[in-house]
Amino acid sequence: MVDADRGSLFLVEGAAAGKKSLVSKFFDVHAGTPLLPCGSTENSNEVQVPWGKGIIGYVAEHGETVNIPDAYQDRRFNDEIDKLTGYKTKSLLCMPIRNSDGEIIGVAQAINKTPGGAPFSDDDEKVMQMYLPFCGIAIANAQLFAASRKEYDRSRALLEVVNDLFEEQTDLEKIVKKIMHRAQTLLKCERCSVLLLEDIESPVVKFTKSFELLSPKCSADAESSFKDSVEKSSSYSDWLINNSIAELVASTGLPVNVSDAYQDPRFDAEADQISGFHIRSVLCVPIWNSNHQIIGVAQVLNRLDGKPFDDADQRLFEAFVIFCGLGINNTIMYDQVKKSWAKQSVALDVLSYHATCSKAEVDKFKAANIPLVSELGIDDIHFDDFSLDVDAMITAALRMFMELGMVQKFKIDYETLCRWLLTVRKNYRMVLYHNWRHAFNVCQLMFAMLTTGGFQEILTEIEILALIVGCLCHDLDHRGTNNAFQAKSGSALAQLYGTSATLEHHHFNHAVMILQSEGHNIFANLSSKDYSDLMQLLKQSILATDLTLYFERRTEFFELVSKCGYDWNIKDHREIFRSMLMTACDLGAVTKPWEISRQATELVTSEFFEQGDRERFELKLTPSAIFDRNRKDELPRLQLEWIDSICMPLYETRCVTNSN
């Protein structure tokens, strides 16, 4: 249209003024030039002009039209392109191309008016001025389409990243390699590294693990040189973990984008000298976990096209690293869970070995003659709690199971029953009162009440089995301190079970653990339904020994009895009755003859005083009167109040229930 011999088109790249440049793949267009630049993806076909340099840079910076008859007479002319192409520029017409917002997005240049080499005329300028707005619209639309296509590709790549990361969450090295491979694919860079912090809670930045990946697009010689250098120099790996840019990102949580590493004081040129790998640009961003804690940094080096990483690269890398952080964090957590599981497995194995009885003990009781109920006196509610030694209590417990017909009814393997009883005994601690003897005494009183009170005709066999087992297990692993102490001290039990019935939940779970141990399941031959019902009843029985629950339900129980409203066919009435039965047996020491009751009370009091001492010296608290040995003179009054307000109403109501 303007009779130019040749032409060129330069497009603006970069957002900020300091980073803008003009880039062209169409810098030498003539009659024989194909429509598309040959090998358009190759960096060698690009010509880059700095912003403001030469006539092209001047037009882009100032937005003015430049029409000169002899380029070499204009001081703004840069002959580098002529030297590059071997073409002699004489006349030149150069104009800015604007988008719909008036922003300069490129520069068009017509070179050497034909024929004869005359200068470009005013009419030529008018033609270009009319033509270039349409070019601006076309270029802007093409750029928008390219940008949207690029964002689509990047979004798709991020989805693929998510899929990759969450497919593999069991091996840290595998997931980091996937991350680095994806980072190279997304950002088209020569090298990628991931550095993980040793301690995310520590204010001192120290990397404990480093992972490196070199792009396969780098030359084989460079890769070989890099590997050889790394192998020969142990200090390279030290530099990788201690480089100042990565440390800065990890400490501040802010990304660092270095366009020219050698011009940045934070860059250590020793890295290049050691590795033989020339670092041009660096993009380093923090890796966060789900709690917004920095767990490491990810770093990419040198775009393959030789350009520095731009803002779009940084935004993409930051988005990419969000998912990477989740993937790495999940993998680390999985590893921690595996280690915790292994520790738990070892602990349970050790516990199982040390907390279960020996084969010799089982054989001893399996072969023993079991005395009759009358010989043991276990059907007497005035039974002497201190009359049997630890082994005699095992034989007495065996007799209870046989006398109640549970061994035959539920097909309980006798050897398993012996083993289970011995292991239950072993899992009571050597505390002053809440020990194996107390558990046996509670069970003995339950047995006496069941066999002499007529409750065998009222309760089902499953309920009776749950009550007997519940009595024997109701204080398993008791530590000699109550629920209030667990809450005050913030013990592991309180953290695990909360502050409601803390110990009782622990006793039940400990009972379940023993039942699940090899060779201890006395319920193995129950049907699926009976087993499910029994475990529910067992849990209710053990939790019922929490006095808080007793206080919550006793008013309802007393009213039902006093109004003769008790109905054995109502499930809730049966449950509250079993709960009261458990409490009655748990507190049963107060019903025994004076000498027996006195011994039990002394043990309880001593255990309470030990708890009070711990509250005073460990927790720095003043214990309540019943736990305070400094107020032991108040003990008789407190014990009488306990009996009159808590125990007596329960036993009086039980007598009424029994007579009904």
Other C-beta atoms lying within 10 Å of the C-beta of residue 226:
19
Give yes or no for a contact between 320 and 186, defined as CB atoms under 8 angstroms apart.
yes
Give yes or no for a contact between 329 and 289, defined as CB atoms under 8 angstroms apart.
yes
Cα–Cα distances (Å) from 275 to 189, 234, 484, 508, in that order, read: 17, 11, 64, 63
Report the distance separating Cα 178 and Cα 170, nearest Å.
Answer: 13
Active site residue 434: yes
Q: Which one of the listed residues 30, 181, 434, 573 is annotated catalytic?
A: 434
What is the 3-state secondary structure of 546-590?
CHHHHHHHHHHHHHHHHCCCCCCCCHHHHHHHHHHHHHHHHCHHH
Report the distance separating Cα 21 and Cα 49, nearest Å.
Answer: 6
H/E element, 301: strand 294-303
Spatial CB neighbours of 334, under 8 Å, sequence gap ≥ 6: 169, 170
Give yes or no for a contact between 399 and 418, defined as CB atoms under 8 angstroms apart.
no
Note the helical H segments in 218-370: 220-232, 234-242, 244-252, 270-275, 311-355, 359-367
Q: 459 in helix, strand or coil?
A: coil
Report the distance separating Cα 379 and Cα 387, nearest Å.
Answer: 14
Report the distance separating Cα 506 and Cα 477, nearest Å.
Answer: 8
Token digits for 655?
Answer: 């007598």
Catalytic amino acids?
A: 434
